[in-house]
Amino acid sequence: MDITTSLIVILVLYGVLLFFDNFFKTCAHYPYIKFLEGTGFEIKFFSIKWRTKAFNRLLIRWGNSNLRFFDWWFTAGLYCTLWFLPIAIILMLYSVFQNFLTTRDQQILIEPVVPGVNLPASELGYYSCSLIVCSIIHELGHALAAVLDDVNLLEVGAHVFFVLPVAYVNLATDKLFAVERKKTLRIICAGIWHNLVLSLIAVIIYLLLPSMFSIFFSVNKGVTVSQIGKNSPIFGHKGLVTGDVIYRINDCKVFDEDSWYGCLSRVKKQQAAFCINHDLIRSLDESVPLKHSDNGKLDCCDGAKSENFCFEHLSSNDDDVLELPNHACLPARKVIEESPNICTSSPHSCPINRFCFRPILNNTASIMTITCRNKLVIYLGYPEDVSRSTEISSYIPKLFFTSPFLPDLVTKFTMYLAFISFGLAIVNVLPFVFMDGQYISEIIVDILLKKRIGNKKCKLIVGVVTTLFTLMLLLHCLYFFYNKIFV
């Protein structure tokens, strides 16, 4: 089932759930109401809420199991989070300036992520799973720190907004703000601290993955085609299929995912030239007098054979010019197959008896030779079509029965975990309304200024700061999406 169909199915399921929920509630269907109360489920407009007290005892037991360690752990978390706050402010301000001052295609340091807009629909699963893991770890921080400081744990739960799940924990707010201010701050900072630690662990695992998988996979020695669309112009037995191992595009070495995209963009910028055998040119040349085609480019073929292309001679050596014509009409596939050497870059040097020729193409398409493990693929078309329709992996299976699916899945998941966990830490530490940062700023201002300027002015300062930051975030998101969608 593709991603669009899956989303439609989920949409229909929500519709059915909402209908029956409304129906049973209107006719006060007792077993259904009892079921909702017993399980803690609540069905809302395209969202499902679930809450339970079942984990309270476990969390309390866990929090009390090693009080000395947790005391040290969450105190360290408090100081790290307070150090992280100015860093997050600088990162946020930098991203806002980037957003408003740089061009559309430039990557912004902190950008909102919305599935379908700047997150490929195919990666929604990674996004949702990472989000639930990051929010569980975040809430676990609040819960354990609360247990440590004797703040009552009311319930834990999860809220699924369409397909995006987040966990939450409810604490006794009156008790949370009644304990010593440093302890309140420690409980509020605990979630952010856990997200920072999770992000760091994910980055370390991400960096160690190539060595961890090195028994079964070669890494950084080429790429494997992990998926290719049936409609891809390069799909097929003469083109690429799933499992092909690619080492080179023209003369550009492919050793990982980044170099694959780098080589494709290089192909787009510079048309490849090939070292063609002298005898081959002499025997296959079918050139006619030069003419200009409709788009102003030179053409030396009569157009009768579609496989023929007009090649121009590139030479840094004047003697070559005397030996060969400046233009030759040659069957592209045949001569390229016979010409393993590429001479795209100046001085266009070739082995003895071979001469550098470049095909003149009538449009912006490119000729690519893709060197695979057991074959050479020759492709005439647009490099963007190749990058769009193929998914590749930096892992090359060493054994014939392994595919790069597992390392790719773990790599992507740890990458999402690192980014989303760090993103959650930033969103929660900054003074945005209703987020942890609002309470953090309230307590910091309270500790630093209450004695000098009084409670009222403290509240005013926090109100102004949180409103400004929230407005800045809103503007940042709105301008970002405006740029993505309309510009």
List beta partners, residue 331: 308
For Zn ion, the nearest residue by Cβ is: 191
Q: Nearest distance from residue 156's CB to Zn ion, in Å? A: 13
Shortest CA distance to 15 belongs to which of 36, 43, 40, 37? 43
Nearer to Zn ion, 369 or 441 (CB): 441
Q: Nearest distance from residue 79's CB to Zn ion, in Å? A: 17
Nearer to Zn ion, 143 or 228 (CB): 143
Which region, judged by CB under 5 A, interacts with Zn ion, from 190-198, 375-383, 395-403, 407-415?
A: 190-198
Q: In the numeric block, which tokens belong to residue 82?
A: 């307070």
Nearer to Zn ion, 191 or 404 (CB): 191
Which region, judged by CB under 5 A, interacts with Zn ion, from 185-193, 211-219, 297-305, 463-471?
A: 185-193
CB 311 within 8 A of CB 305: no
Nearer to Zn ion, 245 or 440 (CB): 440
List beta partners, residue 356: 275
Nearer to Zn ion, 189 or 336 (CB): 189
Task: Spell out the residues 6+ positions from residue 285 whose beta carbon is closer than 8 angstroms to its own.
Answer: 325, 328, 329, 330
Nearer to Zn ion, 190 or 462 (CB): 190
Q: How far apart are CA 330 and CA 281, in angstroms?
A: 7
Q: Nearest distance from residue 438's CB to Zn ion, in Å? A: 11
Query: Is cis: bond before 359, omega within 30 of 0?
Result: no
Q: Nearest distance from residue 428's CB to Zn ion, in Å? A: 5
Complete DSSP assignment for 268-325 = HHS---EEEEHHHHHHH----S-EE-TTS-EE-S-SS-TTEEEEEE--S-HHHHHHS-
Which region, judged by CB under 5 A, interacts with Zn ion, from 183-191, 252-260, 360-368, 457-465?
A: 183-191
**Backbone φ and ψ of 104, nearest 5°:** -60, -40
Residue located via tokens 């449009």: 363
Give the one residue of 63, 77, 157, 191 binding Zn ion; rule: CB under 5 A.
191
Which region, judged by CB under 5 A, interacts with Zn ion, from 117-125, 184-192, 270-278, 352-360?
A: 184-192
Q: Nearest distance from residue 138's CB to Zn ion, in Å? A: 6
- Give residues 401-440 in contact with Zn ion (rule: CB under 5 A): 436
151 binds Zn ion (CB under 5 A): no
Nearer to Zn ion, 134 or 252 (CB): 134
Q: How far apart are CA 142 and CA 171, in angstroms?
A: 9
> Could you tell me how many residues of this chain bind Zn ion (CB under 5 A)?
2
Rounded to the nearest 5 percent, the helix, strand and coil shares of the chain are: 55, 20, 25
- Give residues 90-129 in contact with Zn ion (rule: CB under 5 A): none
Interacting residue ranges for Zn ion, rule: CB under 5 A: 191, 436
